[in-house]
Every structure is written in C-alpha cells, then in structure tokens.
C-alpha cells in the first residue's frame, strides 16, 4: 500500500507531502519531503497489534516551530564539528556556529529543514528523496548532489540508503535521527540495549570527543550484553553527568557486525536490530525529551574533519559517498 497526501504548507505556500508505505509484514512508514523526516513507523507487537515506534508530530507546523530532529535526515555533517571550521588541502572553511562556538547537524538550516524532491517506486516499496546542497551552504564547500532512499523489505525491515557526489572536496556524514520507543508510549528506561562495540569516544564539556578511544569494559558504556537503559543511566559515571545521559559515539567492530545494535522492550515484546555500513553509532538516551525515546544514529565520528586519527569523512570529485543502514523489527 502506498499513499501520498498533503502534510501542510510552508510559510511561503510550498506544499509538503506525506508519503505512506505499508508492506505485507505490517510495517508502515510515513515520511515527508520536508527534511526526509520519518514522521511515523508502525510495527506490530507480540500480539499483532501495531503501534508507532518513533517520536514525531501530527502536523508540519510543529516541525517548523521546534523539533529535536525528530525522524530527520541529518547533514551535511551529522554531529559536532569543533570551532565550526575545518581545513581541506590547506584552505580553512568556516561553518555556521549553531552550537555555541561549534557546528552541529549541518547548521541553522541543515538537510532536515529543506524541501526535497520526492518520488515513489511502488514496485520496490521505496520512497526516493533528492536535492542539491549548494556550494557554500552553511559554509560547506562544493555543490553536493544527494539521494536518500527509504525501502521497506519483504519482512518488517526498513533500509535507508544515502548516496552523494560533489564537485569540490567537502566533508559528508549523514545519519537518520529517529527517536525510538518500542512500546509506543511512556519512557524507554526499561528497554534493554545491546551495542556491539568494545570502545567508545569520551567527550568534553562541549560534548566533543577528546580524541581518546576508551574501552567499554567495566564501565556503564559496556552494552555488549543486553542492559537496561535506565539502570545504566543511574551509575553516576562522570561521562554521563557531562552529557546529562548518553550522547556518545560507539566504535563498531571492524568490517561491520550484523547487527550493530539491538533494542528490546519486554512489555510489548518488540525488538529492533540495526545493521549499518558506518564505523560508529551515536547512542543518545533522549534526555531532551524526558527519555521518551532513544536514538541510535549510525555515522562517522564527531569532529572527524579535525581529527586525522578518525576514519575520514572527506569526499572528493569523482568519488561517491554511500551508506546503508537497516532497521529490522521482530517479536
């Protein structure tokens, strides 16, 4: 099932669509061409009852007024860049400073606040979003052509595939910023989380990585076995005090692990498995929304443009950026 209807209008009168796709496994995606936002994602529980498992709004106006990146496609660079600047080939590029002196999630008008071209491939249960990010947008060099595909599989799985190419050297790091709540209501503190990572990146008071790579062993960052989110939050660890909860990048196992992470809600019986081609996973425990949802953001590491020891996010002309993440639901 595929449907397309008006979701609202921007102040300039531009009409924004809501595209809904449902597959035979009972997974239903609602996405809009404003910011490639996943507005809703309904999945069945152990009794076959469907519920929306992501946080979002009912009206476009609410996203325009204020949104903590609910369901957004984040870019041109997800996460933080220190001092809102980087150098490429000896030339400094200054970005917009929208996080104190730093840059976060693409700036004041990142990819989540733009209108995208949208088309539907009904045969492949796919919605395709495209846009050109102009040279100089939020300070980034190079015109970047981006395509984002949300694909419902034959089972209860959703894949996100992002591709991009540039006409000048630039940095690219895209992610999906959905807040998950597998119960569909209440908080997520009793959700059990597994992250296949033996290391994580400690952060400073600005929530930027210090450059150190720390082992998770014997810390509340060790999610290699299923662990209740709320119990870990109460550990009193200094890093959790710094961020007010989890807002840290985990280093995934080399060459990818299937899955990279798994979340389970014991009340509904729903589980979510995440597979990704990315080297890192940002776990955000949702403190800004009262722990009503958590984020698992597959991405490269924060501040990579200024950290040569981190995997590179530099894209040059003639190269193609590609990343794929799959979210699989089961009971």
The residue among 233, 224, 230 whose CA lies nearest residue 195 is 224
Which residues, 6+ apart, have CB-to-CB distance to 136 below 8 Å? none
Does residue 261 lie in a domain region?
Answer: yes
Q: In terms of domains, do 142 and 219 share one?
A: no
* Model pLDDT, residue 214: 98
Give the C-alpha separation, 79 to 284, whole Å.
11
Give the C-alpha separation, 322 to 173, whole Å.
10
Give the C-alpha separation, 326 to 286, whole Å.
21
Which residues, 6+ apart, have CB-to-CB distance to 68 below 8 Å? 179, 288, 289
217 is annotated as an active-site residue: no
Q: In terms of domains, do 203 and 119 share one?
A: no
Q: In terms of domains, do 225 and 126 share one?
A: no
Q: Residue 243 phi/psi, 5° resolution?
A: -95, -5
Average pLDDT, the chain: 96
pLDDT per position as a tens digit, 245-270: 999 999 998 655 568 999 999 999 99
Q: Looking at 177, 191, 196, 248, which residue is catalytic?
A: 177
* pLDDT category of residue 1 using cuts at 50, 70 and 90: confident
Task: Retrieve residue 236's tokens.
Answer: 């009193």
Q: In terms of domains, do 118 and 18 share one?
A: yes
Does residue 72 lie in a domain region?
Answer: yes
163 is annotated as an active-site residue: no
Does residue 226 lie in a domain region?
Answer: yes
Give the C-alpha separation, 125 to 281, whole Å.
27
Give the C-alpha separation, 281 to 1, whole Å.
32
Would you say 114 and 35 are in contact if contact means Cβ atoms under 8 Å apart?
A: yes
* Model pLDDT, residue 259: 80
Residue linked to tokens 């076995």: 225
Q: In terms of domains, do 34 and 145 share one?
A: yes
Q: In terms of domains, do 280 and 326 share one?
A: no
> Which residue segment(s) compose the domain that 80 sits in?
2-179+319-330
pLDDT per position as a tens digit, 188-240: 999 999 999 999 999 999 999 999 999 999 999 999 999 999 999 999 999 99
Does residue 263 lie in a domain region?
Answer: yes
Would you say 81 and 115 are in contact if contact means Cβ atoms under 8 Å apart?
A: no
Does residue 70 lie in a domain region?
Answer: yes
The residue among 26, 78, 268, 297 whose CA lies nearest residue 179 is 297
Q: Looking at 137, 138, 273, 297, which residue is catalytic?
A: 297
Give the C-alpha separation, 223 to 217, whole Å.
9
Of the chain, the percentage scoring pLDDT greater than 90 comes to: 96
Dihedral sign from CA coordinates of 278, 280, 283, 284 = negative
Which residues, 6+ apart, have CB-to-CB distance to 226 below 8 Å? 192, 193, 194, 262, 264
Would you say 137 and 131 are in contact if contact means Cβ atoms under 8 Å apart?
A: no
Q: In terms of domains, do 157 and 92 share one?
A: yes
* Model pLDDT, residue 245: 97
Q: In terms of domains, do 94 and 225 share one?
A: no
Give the C-alpha separation, 218 to 212, whole Å.
17
Q: In terms of domains, do 111 and 241 share one?
A: no
* Model pLDDT, residue 257: 53
158 SS3 class: strand
pLDDT per position as a tens digit, 78-136: 999 999 999 999 999 999 999 999 999 999 999 999 999 999 998 899 999 999 999 99
* Model pLDDT, residue 254: 67
What CATH code is carried by the domain that includes residue 326? 2.70.98.10
The residue-averaged pLDDT of 159-182 equals 98
Which residues, 6+ apart, have CB-to-CB distance to 240 below 8 Å? 220, 233, 246
Does residue 36 lie in a domain region?
Answer: yes
- Provide the 8-state DSSP code for 238: H
330 SS3 class: strand
117 SS3 class: strand
The H or E element spanning position 86 is: strand 85-88
Would you say 138 and 114 are in contact if contact means Cβ atoms under 8 Å apart?
A: no
pLDDT per position as a tens digit, 13-61: 999 999 999 999 999 999 999 999 999 999 999 999 999 999 999 999 9
Q: Residue 240 phi/psi, 5° resolution?
A: -75, -30
62 SS3 class: helix
* Model pLDDT, residue 253: 82
């Amino acid at each position: 099932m595929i449907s397309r209807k008006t979701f609202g209008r921007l102040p300039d009168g531009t009409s924004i669509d809501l595209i809904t796709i449902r597959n035979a496994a009972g997974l239903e995606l609602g996405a809009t061409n404003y910011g490639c936002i996943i507005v809703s994602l309904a999945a069945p529980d152990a009794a076959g009852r469907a519920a929306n498992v992501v946080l979002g709004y009912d009206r476009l106006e609410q996203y325009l007024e204020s949104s903590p990146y609910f369901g957004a496609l984040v870019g041109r660079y997800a996460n933080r860049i220190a001092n809102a600047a980087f150098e490429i080939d000896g030339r400094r590029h200054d970005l917009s400073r929208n996080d104190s002196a730093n840059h976060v999630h693409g700036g004041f008008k990142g990819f989540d606040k733009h209108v995208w071209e949208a088309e539907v491939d009904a045969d492949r249960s796919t919605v395709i979003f495209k846009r050109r990010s102009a040279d100089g947008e939020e300070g980034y060099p190079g015109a970047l052509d981006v395509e984002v595909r949300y694909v419902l599989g034959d089972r209860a799985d959703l894949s996100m595939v992002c591709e991009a190419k540039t006409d000048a050297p630039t940095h690219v790091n895209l992610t999906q910023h959905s807040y998950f709540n597998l119960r569909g209501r209440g908080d997520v503190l009793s959700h059990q989380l597994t992250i296949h990572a033996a290391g994580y990146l400690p952060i400073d008071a600005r929530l930027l990585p210090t450059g150190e790579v720390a082992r998770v062993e014997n810390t509340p960052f060790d999610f290699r076995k299923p662990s209740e989110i709320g119990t870990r939050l109460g550990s009193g660890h200094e890093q959790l005090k710094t961020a007010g909860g989890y807002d840290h990048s985990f280093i995934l196992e080399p060459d990818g692990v299937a899955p990279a992470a798994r979340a389970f809600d014991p009340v509904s019986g729903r589980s979510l498995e995440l597979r990704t081609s990315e080297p890192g996973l940002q776990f955000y425990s949702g403190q800004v929304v009262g722990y009503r949802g958590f984020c698992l953001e597959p991405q490269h590491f924060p501040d990579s443009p200024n950290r040569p020891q981190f995997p590179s996010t530099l894209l040059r002309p003639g190269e193609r950026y590609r990343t794929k993440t799959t979210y699989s639901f089961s009971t």
